[in-house]
Chains A and B, each alone.
Chain A
Amino acid sequence: MGKATGFMEFRRLSEENLPVAERIKSYQEFVLHLTDEQAKTQGARCMDCGIPFCTTGCPINNIIPDWNDLVFRGNWREALDVLHSTNNFPEFTGRICPAPCEAACTLNINDDAVGIKSIEHAIIDKGWEQGWVVPQPPSKKTGKKVAVVGSGPAGMAAAQQLARVGHDVVLFEKNDRIGGLLRYGIPDFKMEKSHIDRRIEQMQAEGVVFRTRIFIGTDKDLGVNNMATETISPQTLMAEFDAVILSGGAEIPRNLPVPGRELSGIYPAMDFLLQQNRVNAGDTLPEQTKATGKHVIVIGGGDTGSDCVGTSNRHGALSVTQFEVMPRPPEQENKPLVWPDWPMKLRTSSSHEEGVQRDWAVATKEFIGANGKLEKLRVARVEWKDGKMNEVAGSEFEIKADLVLLAMGFVSPAQKILDAFGVEKDGRGNIKANTEDYRTSKDKVFAAGDMRRGQSLVVWAIREGRQCARAVDEYLMGSSVLPR
């Protein structure tokens, strides 16, 4: 346990960020990880609870008290081992996870939660700095072949786990680079992509074969970005491999079908973010959607919306406004009734700090433009009652807009892929499979990540990838030593 009275002596310390004026000049990360001394003090705040609620608050069940204590004692190397024992990619989660563990932290009941995420961040960054993160190739090969379709965090986690127990794993990606939404959906200023590249190197050394620009399916036209140059049919794949994991994400964005939607200047957020990420990666695009000098409206109040805000500001937008249809959440949740669950409360992201007008309970009624080009939005205020939305009479107003980014979440995986595999779906269009064995209705086909559970967090994707890997290993070998 950190220090018995640490939580009474030390305050929570958030990671230092570069000042706004400085950070919006570039796409580089601006969150500085804790110093060793800071991390030690923050670790000391952990109470090593008899029931560590953080562990179950965390989707991958990070053994948080243990590494908090190890950091407190300066035993970073072991802390890294403990961290890696539940999490393949702590450098991802240590940067972009909303940290439900901290919501579940018992200190959060009546104080500020332990800065779990910042400690995780510090541990893994030190791990890389010190060269402690090395490949863990299997001691012997099983001769079994596993295909993983989709290289987001779920696919990566599954591939790594399976490779480490000796299976021959091929990870297929339809786009040109590995990482899925992690690579193209998350702006660099939140997570630089070198982190993914390092993991790719590690996984290659562990035996994972990466194949990009390959589409597994029949009809390439998915309605989402698809850079594939080669197509392999599901049947071929299933014939060649002993098991197949579908981990293609939930990519179909939610649309806003109101009058004027066809006007130019209205884009799904992901198109906008992807372009900037590609540019950052050194690609030259024929045409990039930019917010420079524009009045930008972001519709949707979630994390993707935030990313659009941050990117727009870096483009040099004239103004950025963000609308959310749900009412403004309270500043502070009712902790006795909510803890240890994830609270609905007002969250202000680092991108928000960089400049934005936020408005809640606003519904877009119409896009208005001229010459096929967007000029403004007509919106109205709404009220919510018993889960139903009603427009407030007489509350309509118009707002100027040059660029609208639709960040209202994702509907489902691309149905065509599911259909090509012929797997059964659930009511929401996701692949039907349980979290015990992750099996689809098709023999030897498994599903994990957003493709199975619908849109979610990176950390959930990692969890599903790991658990699915174990299920596959059990399926192939009869039993498995992989942890769930």
Chain B
Amino acid sequence: MSNSSLPAQQGLYDPRQEHDACGVGFVAHIKGKKSHDMIRQGLQILENLTHRGAVGADPLAGDGAGILLQIPDAFLRAQCAAQGLVLPPMENYGVGMLFLPRDATARSVCEQIITAKINLEGQQLLGWRDVPVNGSGLGESVKKVEPVIRQVFIARGTNCPDADAFERKLFVIRKTVEHAICNLPDGQGKGFYIPSLSARTIVYKGMLLADQVGKYYLDLQDASMVSALALVHQRFSTNTFPTWNLAHPFRMIAHNGEINTVRGNVNWMTARHAAMSSQLLGEDLEKLWPLIVEGQSDSACFDNALELLVAGGYSLPHAMMLLIPEAWAGNPLMDEERRAFYEYHAALMEPWDGPAAVAFTDGRMIGATLDRNGLRPARYLITDDDLVLMASEMGVLNIPQSKIIKKWRLQPGKMFLIDTIAGRIVGDTELKNQLAASKPYRAWIEKSRYFLSDLAEVVDQSALKAALLDVQQAFGYSQEDLKFILAPMLSAGEEATGSMGMDAALPVLSNKNRSLYDYFQQLFAQVTNPPIDPIREEIVMSLTSFIGPRPNLLGIEETDPPLRLEVHQPVLTNDDMAKLRNIADLTNGRYRSLVLDMTYPADEGAAGCTVALQALCSAAVKAVAGGYNVLILSDRAVSPLRVAIPALLVCSGIHHHLVREGLRTSTGLVADTGSAREVHHFALLAGYGVEAVCPWLAYETIAAMPLPAKVDVKEAKKRYIKAISKGLMKVMSKMGISTYQSYCGAQIFEAIGLNASFVNDYFTGTATQIEGIGLAEVAEEAVRTHRSAFGTDPVLADALEAGGEYAWRVRGEEHMWTPDTVAKLQNATRTNNAATYKEYAKLINEQSQRLKTLRGLFQIKPAGVPVPVEEVETAKEIVKRFSTGAMSLGSISTEAHTTLAIAMNRIGGKSNTGEGGEDAARFNSSKGSEKLSDVIGNGRIFSDRELLAGDSLRSRIKQVASGRFGVTAEYLASADQIQIKIAQGAKPGEGGQLPGHKVSEYIAKLRYSVPGVGLISPPPHHDIYSIEDLAQLIHDLKNANPSASISVKLVSEVGVGTVAAGVAKAKADHITVSGFDGGTGASPISSLKHAGTPWELGLAEAQQTLVLNQLRGRIALQVDGQLKTGRDVLIGALLGADEFGFATAPLVVEGCIMMRKCHLNTCPVGVATQDPELRKKFTGQPEHVVNFFFFIAEEVREYMAQLGIRKFDDLIGRSDLLEMQHGIEHWKAKGLDFSKVFYQPQVAASVSRRHTQTQNHELEKALDNMLIAQAQQSLSIQADAYISSSISNVNRSVGTMLSHEVAKRYGQAGLPDDTINVKFLGTAGQSFGAFLAHGIAFELFGEGNDYVGKGLCGGRISIMPPDSSRLVSHENIIVGNTVLYGATSGECYFSGVAGERFAVRNSGAIAVVEGLGDHGCEYMTGGMVVVLGQTGRNFAAGMSGGVAYVLDEDGGFKQRCNLAMVALEPMLDELAVLESTDAVPESHGRVHFNHLNLADEQVLRTQIEKHLRYTDSPRAKHILDSWSAYLPKFIKVMPTEYRRALQEMAEQNARQLEAA
């Protein structure tokens, strides 16, 4: 919005990328009783949510906070009376809360406009009131932009028959005022904003810290001000810029989360413009446009949409269900009527998708709803005096336990509503059932729906217009498209895997003819929202697509529902296409389709493209006007004489054209294109508005390909479609989007190498940062492709282009890793030959002939006169800035992993564990005269080496990834730096999988898993769904090792700067920005190539944004991703990096020859394999790696000498020394413009541009300081300690620092059982007992919040209601979400119900709980979970180990369990147990043979008895008392792979016993 106070777009910083998340809460009186207490409590909640917000560079400047109340009639009446203003009766006047410009003239203009609009709409201006404020506590930066805050009072006009009409009118007035002021010239409107304008609600908010709201607004302190509800919000924003208007609550909502699809949602809203009409709003509807103004936050956009729906006649809950529907498609448990309701509404509007806890109110009803996947926390309680409290966490208000009658949580997709007029709570079921039954939705659907698949068959008669090979060439097919893209899909039904990153030339730098698709990169979720696991959490995903016109969004009262044409997934067959072409016949003319030809005469050359495109756009408009409601954009006419315009260009161009014309929702768009073949292509077509795609040439190609055995063409095509569908889900889920409908048109991409004016014309709203080619060149490239297809090139006479993007080919795309560079680097480092290294560096650095990277086009300017190289900082110092990449032991061999560690420790750099834990045997330095195998263990090393005295195998960087494998207190205690891997360059936004064949005995031991069983790393960290979650994890890890720095690893994409700023505010000490091209791990090949951006962009954006926010000094910035030479380091430093990460190059030094088969376990040089035979071939030496880093450092020094810079620090952030190379002749590259990359924000000289300060982690406030003090004797001499303490929600990560003290002294073994015993009373803050070490026992009387027992490693936690509680334990919630995430050992007993994602990634802990939410035991690999109550949906998804015993009272468990990887078994009877208990060997790590066939009954009973002992649970007592009745109701959940592996191990053991 033009009047936003965010800085203008500059350099790579763009205010559009800002994110926020937060703490949200409300209190309300069920019966609508108003009181001042309600306001006081609201403000109290805010204060207790302070830790969910953040402060920026200015400690007095918060990110914003506010409160929404009912109109305090008596108070306002008295205030107005005092100034002679008489208010009409309640509901007959509205109050506008106004932020006005500080400039008196501008203010007066704004007020005049307001007055005019009120009059124009037939209402009566009553008067104005200055809102009294006390700005004394505001930060300096905030004061500077503090608006003048006034209220305007408006009386209901005669044209409004009732209160609802008046409320609508006030909405119209607000919109018209906003538009008028927004359009004022010269920024006169800057600073203007209307927080609220309503006869029912009023919002007090601002750029305030949570505890400032009540102090700043004096009104709120007045005891006569009353409300029956208070909705509050504390914001955590990524930026530090004072922005008053972005604070929540908005007019109707406060939101915790993020709308991932907002770009598409806003576009679709615009697209509906022409097709929308409303009986209620009538002509006023037109005045609302533009409904959603560009440049607002996602929450503000959502609020705008909600307002419209409500004004248009939807009830508040109805509107919310439309915007954030439950996952209904794949839910067998859903009531039929409700499903019909959702299904009907799906055609009306695509979901606003993303993690969201939204609290909403219209002043009479107040409620909240949660996104379909339950990705935000929201808990509530109800008291016996009708108070309802809902908040992101519990403990925010001190309410006596004895008064509480219910504690529960919002469940995924569920709603919770308080009707203060009716005076009661309306539950989700009642509410939705009532709405679902209100109209005959099912009948309507049946009447109006066509499934394309159900329509009568039509035989496809289209034929190729030229030879297949020529047509393939005309669409740029290469041999690799067949070999790497299509063939694997036909054999496996899924996309192929690749390894070792992407080192080929960027499309805009390529001499090859690249397709337009290649110029776009997929965006992905990092930090501010989580990606989804589309496999394990498929229940929330849907690929259903609607083709054709969309109904009138506001046609609520219509009884003749419009038609809908549906497909189950958007990849159409040729037969489907034939049906669409003949759709008029098949639907009695209700649908009419028209084919628009995307080809034009080839003899017109590139110049013909513009005209052809324009003609297509007009033809589309004409077709829609002519009643065609399905437009098929086809390039089947391609032939020697007709060249195809890139389908993506046509589709997006027409989509945007129709959006602009307001016609887009009047027709469907279908692409019938030969160009689409890989997942990325389909994703792009969908992202730019196409509802379905028919890849006709892919089908022709498949039909002509050699097929795998037993696969016919039909089956092959089926597999292909399946692979594309799966891939699409992966691409969508990468951004956290769960439905195709929302993804469609959402434009989740950025362009690299396309110029802004071209993007603006055809891909409106897409980010493109470095300019590049435009329409002329795009057309030229298409024409060149066409020409070579139908030309005389003998190489193409009977073969496709080589491609050479995935593997090096002599006639293929340029790469940085070539036979030459690999050989020279290996030779140089093995012989320590600087001259050979220089040859290598020259090959990489000098790209004047063969452009490959952006930095290849940079030129470096000297800073001053050259200095002698001797005066430059020594190489010994520079190498300390280097680290090696996060490659897990698992992805690479122990030999390769330890070689890197030894080398980095020798030079004082850092190596990285990667995800997967680290052997504690590696933590100590060697005394010399020992071998590697002496440390690691005999039989675990296949290429041994002598260790020198002082050599250390310890990785100084310990990674914490989503799988949390081997993350224990001891592991964390051994770190110098702890790195949270948010994303990795090879596949940002995706999880990983270590296939079973790579899980050796040693790896299994380190990862607390079973040898031979595959391990899954989830796509998201389940404890980071938003920025404040990350802040919490950083806090946890800082507690787990106060002396380690906490690093957050991000991947370069547009907006990464903003994310980095948020991460800095979340108090990370260190940020890594990775390029998209790096990555040594295995990854789907479309991700390898098409997700993320080069680090030059991400690093520069991070540097610029951090400097602009004055946060740069607080963090160290590291860059990695295909760094290979000293010049790369130099450029990284100039763009802002303090430190540098290398992965591929050191691997090459170790012997890697870029086989790119890491995922096959066949690495022939023993680097990326676990095969003992191949590991024998490993020849890498630490010395070689050391040589490499010194070569790099020496090269840097030479550059520094030339530049005239002596200290490395003086290089950092000097992007002014960079310029684009002169005289670039390359026809595509010459359009590039790096000025944004080289931009330096204009800030005061005092603002740091490199790492100079430290973060304040406020550990001194931790409760653990007291615990540690009281446990001194336990720590020193293992004496027993008994401690008790009260606890509240602001006490976070309790027990973690104490565990660090234990782990530091006693390692993983910890203290003897029950050495330190602590009793707590109250509500614990997040992460209670995180990483709790063995020997510590926590008892909590009260409740826990999210992340209880995170990373538990040996300790015991028991939580039970306090004695004063009246609650029935198994019917009330006692701990929040994501409890026990990544636990490795220990025990937990919870006398109550847990939230979603209980025991996710548990690999060894034992837990008893009395009920749990969705996704329980997801990805579990070990340990045991006992559930004594109801379980949620999707239990055991991805569970590959451990065992669960679930009480299934209603017999419905099977439906709620994900059976993909587990089997449900009955409890073994006594006889079976007796037969099978022979020769049960000892436990192995956390893997229990007794999971295999131990007396289930005995195990279970023992656990329940313990539960009773530790929590005094009435539930446990009841079950034990009626044991024989309950026992049969228990079901054992056993992972099938786990059973197989245990059986094998048992057999092996038995054989060994026999042999002995």
Check if B706 sits within 8 Å of A56, measured CB to CB: no
Check if A51 sits within 8 Å of B1153, measured CB to CB: yes
B1008 within 8 Å of A by Cβ?
A: no
Q: Known: A51-B1154, A63-B802, A109-B1165. Is A481-B795 also a contact (CB below 8 A)? A: yes
Stretch binding the partner chain, chosen from A213-221, A239-247, A334-342? A334-342
Stretch binding the partner chain, chosen from A1-9, A144-152, A183-191? A1-9
Within 8 A of A (CB), among B320-339: none
| C-alpha gap A73/B799 in the complex (Å) | 17
Within 8 A of A (CB), among B772-829: 791-795, 798-799, 802, 806-811, 815, 817-820, 822-823, 826-827
A362 within 8 Å of B by Cβ?
A: no
| C-alpha gap A482/B1156 in the complex (Å) | 31
Nearest CB in chain B to that of A60: its residue: B810
Q: Known: A47-B1157, A47-B1164, A51-B818. Is A81-B798 also a contact (CB below 8 A)? A: yes
B925 within 8 Å of A by Cβ?
A: no
Indicate which residue in B807, B1156, B1160, B1177 contacts A110 across the interface (CB closer than 8 Å).
B1177
| C-alpha gap A139/B794 in the complex (Å) | 11
B871 within 8 Å of A by Cβ?
A: no
A55 within 8 Å of B by Cβ?
A: yes
Within 8 A of B (CB), among A92-125: 104, 106-107, 109-111
| C-alpha gap A51/B1154 in the complex (Å) | 6
A367 within 8 Å of B by Cβ?
A: no
Check if B819 sits within 8 Å of A336, measured CB to CB: no
| C-alpha gap A106/B1164 in the complex (Å) | 8
Indicate which residue in A50, A336, A337 contacts B808 across the interface (CB closer than 8 Å).
A50
Indicate which residue in B479, B794, B1179 contacts A483 across the interface (CB closer than 8 Å).
B794
Check if A8 sits within 8 Å of B706, measured CB to CB: no
Check if B1154 sits within 8 Å of A49, measured CB to CB: yes
Q: Known: A164-B794, A336-B830. Is A111-B1164 also a contact (CB below 8 A)? A: yes
Within 8 A of B (CB), among A48-83: 48-53, 55-57, 61, 63, 65-66, 73, 75, 81-82
| C-alpha gap A122/B285 in the complex (Å) | 78
B1155 within 8 Å of A by Cβ?
A: yes
Check if A337 sits within 8 Å of B831, measured CB to CB: yes
Check if B1157 sits within 8 Å of A7, measured CB to CB: no
B1173 within 8 Å of A by Cβ?
A: yes
Check if B802 sits within 8 Å of A106, measured CB to CB: no
B1162 within 8 Å of A by Cβ?
A: yes
| C-alpha gap A48/B1155 in the complex (Å) | 8
B 712-726 binary contact with A (CB < 8 Å = 1; else 0): 000000000000000
B500 within 8 Å of A by Cβ?
A: yes
Query: In the complex, which range does the number of interface residues on chain B fall in?
Result: 35 or more
Check if B799 sits within 8 Å of A4, measured CB to CB: no
In the assembled complex, the CB of B491 is this many whole angstroms from the nearest CB of chain A, namely 13
| C-alpha gap A49/B810 in the complex (Å) | 13
B728 within 8 Å of A by Cβ?
A: no
Within 8 A of A (CB), among B1135-1189: 1151, 1153-1157, 1160, 1162, 1164-1165, 1171, 1173-1174, 1177, 1179
Check if A82 sits within 8 Å of B799, measured CB to CB: yes
A165 within 8 Å of B by Cβ?
A: yes
**Chain A residues near B822 (CB, 8 Å)?**
51, 53
Check if A55 sits within 8 Å of B809, measured CB to CB: yes
Check if A106 sits within 8 Å of B798, measured CB to CB: no
Indicate which residue in A47, A75, A109, A337 contacts B830 across the interface (CB closer than 8 Å).
A337
Nearest CB in chain B to that of A335: its residue: B1179
**Chain A residues near B815 (CB, 8 Å)?**
51
Indicate which residue in A8, A49, A337 contacts B1155 across the interface (CB closer than 8 Å).
A49
In the assembled complex, the CB of B257 is this many whole angstroms from the nearest CB of chain A, namely 41
B 516-547 binary contact with A (CB < 8 Å = 1; else 0): 00000000000000000000000000000000
Check if B1155 sits within 8 Å of A47, measured CB to CB: yes
| C-alpha gap A198/B1201 in the complex (Å) | 64
Check if B826 sits within 8 Å of A336, measured CB to CB: yes
Indicate which residue in B827, B1153, B1165 contacts A53 across the interface (CB closer than 8 Å).
B1153
Nearest CB in chain B to that of A55: its residue: B810
In the assembled complex, the CB of B89 is this many whole angstroms from the nearest CB of chain A, namely 79
Check if B1162 sits within 8 Å of A8, measured CB to CB: yes
In the assembled complex, the CB of B1183 is this many whole angstroms from the nearest CB of chain A, namely 12
Check if B819 sits within 8 Å of A481, measured CB to CB: no
Check if A339 sits within 8 Å of B823, measured CB to CB: yes
Check if B1154 sits within 8 Å of A50, measured CB to CB: yes
Check if B795 sits within 8 Å of A110, measured CB to CB: no
In the assembled complex, the CB of B1187 is this many whole angstroms from the nearest CB of chain A, namely 13
A225 within 8 Å of B by Cβ?
A: no
In the assembled complex, the CB of B812 is this many whole angstroms from the nearest CB of chain A, namely 10
Indicate which residue in B706, B798, B809 contacts A75 across the interface (CB closer than 8 Å).
B706
In the assembled complex, the CB of A353 is this many whole angstroms from the nearest CB of chain B, namely 31
| C-alpha gap A52/B1153 in the complex (Å) | 9
Check if A8 sits within 8 Å of B1173, measured CB to CB: yes
Check if B1162 sits within 8 Å of A5, measured CB to CB: yes
| C-alpha gap A139/B810 in the complex (Å) | 27
Q: Known: A8-B1162, A8-B1173, A85-B799. Is A55-B792 also a contact (CB below 8 A)? A: no
In the assembled complex, the CB of A4 is this many whole angstroms from the nearest CB of chain B, namely 5
| C-alpha gap A52/B1164 in the complex (Å) | 13
Check if B807 sits within 8 Å of A51, measured CB to CB: yes
**Chain B residues near A336 (CB, 8 Å)?**
826, 830, 1179
Nearest CB in chain B to that of A69: its residue: B483
Q: Known: A73-B706, A337-B827. Is A51-B819 also a contact (CB below 8 A)? A: yes
Within 8 A of B (CB), among A1-46: 4-5, 7-8
Check if A47 sits within 8 Å of B706, measured CB to CB: no
| C-alpha gap A63/B480 in the complex (Å) | 14
Indicate which residue in A61, A81, A109 contacts B1153 across the interface (CB closer than 8 Å).
A109
Within 8 A of A (CB), among B540-582: none
In the assembled complex, the CB of A192 is this many whole angstroms from the nearest CB of chain B, namely 29
In the assembled complex, the CB of A6 is this many whole angstroms from the nearest CB of chain B, namely 9
Check if B793 sits within 8 Å of A481, measured CB to CB: yes
Check if B1156 sits within 8 Å of A50, measured CB to CB: yes
In the assembled complex, the CB of B162 is this many whole angstroms from the nearest CB of chain A, namely 72
| C-alpha gap A4/B1162 in the complex (Å) | 7
In the assembled complex, the CB of A381 is this many whole angstroms from the nearest CB of chain B, namely 31
In the assembled complex, the CB of B1171 is this many whole angstroms from the nearest CB of chain A, namely 8
In the assembled complex, the CB of B589 is this many whole angstroms from the nearest CB of chain A, namely 50
Check if A52 sits within 8 Å of B807, measured CB to CB: yes
**Chain B residues near A111 (CB, 8 Å)?**
1164, 1177
Check if B794 sits within 8 Å of A165, measured CB to CB: yes
**Chain A residues near B1154 (CB, 8 Å)?**
49-51
Check if A50 sits within 8 Å of B1155, measured CB to CB: yes
**Chain B residues near A49 (CB, 8 Å)?**
807, 1153-1156
**Chain A residues near B826 (CB, 8 Å)?**
336
Nearest CB in chain B to that of A57: its residue: B819
Within 8 A of B (CB), among A388-413: none
**Chain A residues near B811 (CB, 8 Å)?**
61, 63, 483
**Chain A residues near B791 (CB, 8 Å)?**
481
In the assembled complex, the CB of A167 is this many whole angstroms from the nearest CB of chain B, namely 13
| C-alpha gap A337/B833 in the complex (Å) | 11
| C-alpha gap A57/B1179 in the complex (Å) | 22
Check if B1164 sits within 8 Å of A481, measured CB to CB: no
**Chain A residues near B823 (CB, 8 Å)?**
53, 339-341
In the assembled complex, the CB of A478 is this many whole angstroms from the nearest CB of chain B, namely 14
| C-alpha gap A5/B1174 in the complex (Å) | 11
In the assembled complex, the CB of A161 is this many whole angstroms from the nearest CB of chain B, namely 9
Given contacts A7-B1162, A57-B819, A337-B827, 19 further A-B contacts (CB under 8 A): A7-B1164, A47-B1164, A49-B807, A49-B1156, A50-B499, A50-B1157, A51-B807, A51-B818, A51-B819, A51-B1155, A51-B1156, A52-B808, A53-B823, A56-B810, A73-B706, A75-B706, A336-B830, A337-B830, A341-B823
19 contacts between A and B (CB under 8 A): A4-B1160, A7-B1164, A8-B1171, A49-B807, A50-B1155, A50-B1157, A51-B819, A52-B807, A52-B808, A53-B1153, A65-B807, A106-B1155, A106-B1165, A107-B1164, A109-B1164, A110-B1164, A110-B1177, A111-B1164, A483-B794
Q: Which 3 A/B pairs are nearest by Cβ-Cβ distance?
A: A50-B1156, A481-B793, A61-B810
